[in-house]
Structure 1
Amino acid sequence: MSVLDEGAPRPGERPTFGARLGAAMDSHGPLCVGIDPHPGLLAAWGLGDDVDGLRRFALTVLDAVGGRVAAVKPQSALFERHGSAGVAVLEEVVAAGRDLGTLVVVDAKRGDIGSTMAAYADAYLRDGSPLAGDALTVSPFLGFGSLAPAVEAAAATGRGLFVLALTSNPEGAAVQHARDSAGVAVATRIAAEAGTLNRAEIDRSGASLGSVGLVVGATIGDAARRLDLDLEAVHGPLLAPGVGAQGAGPAELAAVFGTARQAVLASSSRGVLAAGPDPQRLREAARRGADEAAAALR
């Protein structure tokens, strides 16, 4: 069922994604738990690398942490690798997150131009689509303007976007740190575009957080400072992968984000998932992750 099925609020009546995420972070702490069913994790849980193992893994994670964390983030590719049956499991995760009252960020990193981007927006941001969670990760590297269909669809349905900006993979710097003829870095331009959209939304809604967030790796060091990128001026959520098993602890979170710390949604996947398959251990790992992130981001 859509979040706007009969009897649900109309789009204009629904709080913005930024407002809903801010409330969830206030209630549960600034942690987003990745649902990343890597083959190695499936094996570690005693599950097969097949659709049944995928489904048991994903729904066990969601049952354990749903209603207890600010958001979950299923990695679409790890569902897609199982074909149409795997995509159907992703649809189950989206629906279950909604039933549990937990925000779902679909990590699909979609990006294209024209009618193709419009089709992605229709698939992941349209009311009634089984793949439409609460937010979608998108890639702006065909030009920020190419994201217009997704920006418009998200605004119309009260959903959010997380735009890739400063990722922690070594290859990303060649594009994201590159400067134009005016000396402005690509990532800095992306952040400025997001900030413009968020300020307009905040002026309309009165929320304290806009709905167009950035993906900023928690292990990028002082990259934002070196690129003259003001993360606080984005006025939107900052999704920070790379927490826990991927290398960044509380101190790194504080150092990378500076005065924008209150907008950070720290993402942890393996740091929580390694505690499974026992649901209680998963809950405890998520609680520890949320508490550690909150302490670092004060």
Structure 2
Amino acid sequence: MTEPFGARLRHAMDERGPLCVGIDPHASLLAEWGLNDDVAGLERFSRTVVEAMADRVAVLKPQSAFFERFGSRGIAVLEKSVEEARAAGALVVMDAKRGDIGSTMAAYAESFLSKDSPLFSDALTVSPYLGYGSLSPAVVLARQSGAGLFVLALTSNPEGGEVQHAVRADGRTVGATMLAHLAAENEGEEPLGSFGAVVGATLGDLSTYDLSINGPLLAPGIGAQGATPADLPRVFGAAVRNVVPNVSRGVLRHGPDVVALREAASRFADEIVSAVSGA
């Protein structure tokens, strides 16, 4: 039986540090690397990031949309990237932000969380804004396959607040409700639950939210969006040890040189470990 994602993530974070590096081959980055905005450029970019990172960082997070825009050939590159990253020891979080109901949600889950799928990933980002219960097919399949989920809860984009900070009839915000659902999913799991939240590192003081969900907190916003590793203890408080800080452009802009990419990732990883250990 496959060890649950939360346990595998805890081990990877302890051994490699908690850094998550995005694989975001958008057109401007391809141009910065001197690559064409086509499938060949996409493949060169993705293979370089995997080569540079997969044997040393805890998590790689490909953004599915940047592969999907090239159609079936782009998806083929994504499949190969996932396979090679996992073979080199990195955990893969597929950033696809899927969210729907019933059989459609089940199909999305099968695409990324079924072990028979060529896109099988260690975890998947999902949107709960058709109601948390709509994620049930993904929750069930993730448990069966030993995978995990990262649920959008308190995201770093300014527009997210109009939904996530909205107050329900019971007095709780929508974001707090999502965190409570995840805490229930992870209850009793050791050393870490497999159902995490996406919580932006740029959000400042979150002390009014209970982030102790016994699961990982995927934290975008480090680097280009303005947050720094030193901000993590202030934002996440006692939950900081379970934070998986995500850096994309802050590392990727150093490509296509593999050594430069590794050095950039190492700097971020060291800063994150220092900030977390000093908290």
TM over 0.5: yes
- Displacement of 1:71 in angstroms is 0.6
**1:1-298 to 2 correspondence within 5 Å?**
13-200=1-188, 202=189, 207-222=190-205, 224-225=206-207, 228-232=208-212, 234-298=213-277
Alpha-carbon separation, structure 2, partners of 1:170 and 1:249: 18
Q: Which amino acid counterpart does residue 254 of structure 2 have in structure 1?
A: A
Cα displacement string for residues 71-116 of structure 1 (whole angstroms, at most 9, x for unaligned residues) = 1000000111111111111111111112111100000000000010
User: 1:251 Cα shift?
Assistant: 2.5
One-letter code aligned to 1:19: A
Structure 2: unaligned runs, 5 residues or longer: none
SS at 2:256's partner residue?
Answer: coil
- Whether the 8 Å contact between 1:118 and 1:149 is mirrored in structure 2 is yes
Report the Cα distance in structure 2 between the residues aligned to 1:294 and 1:154, rounded to whole angstroms: 29
What is the CA-CA distance between 1:254 and the residue it aligns to?
1.6
CA distance in 2, matches of 1:85, 1:296: 41
One-letter identity of the residue aligned with 1:63: E
Structure 1 window deviating more from structure 2 (142-151 vs 247-256): it is: 247-256
- Give the Cα separation in 2 of the matches to 1:100 and 1:284: 18
Partners of 1:109 and 1:236 in 2: CA distance: 18
3-state SS of the aligned residue for 1:199? coil
TM-score by length of 1: 0.91
Contact 1:264 1:297 in 2 (8 A): no
- Aligned-pair identity in percent equals 60
For each residue in 1:251-280, what CA deviation from the matched residue of structure 2 results, as whole angstroms up to 9, or x when unmatched?
221211010000000000001001110001
Task: Go from structure 1 to structure 2 and tell me whether the alpha carbon gap of 1:126 and 1:188 turns closer, same or farther (over 3 Å shift).
Answer: same
Counterpart code for 2:70? H
Deviations 1:161-217 (A, max 9, x none): 0000000111100000001111100011100000001014x1xxxx21100000000
CA distance, structure 1, for counterparts of residue 100 and residue 275 of structure 2: 36
Aligned length: 277
For residue 7 of structure 1, what is the aligned residue in structure 2? Answer: none
Q: In 2, distance between residues paired with 1:274 and 1:241?
A: 16
Structure 1 counterpart SS, 2:186: helix
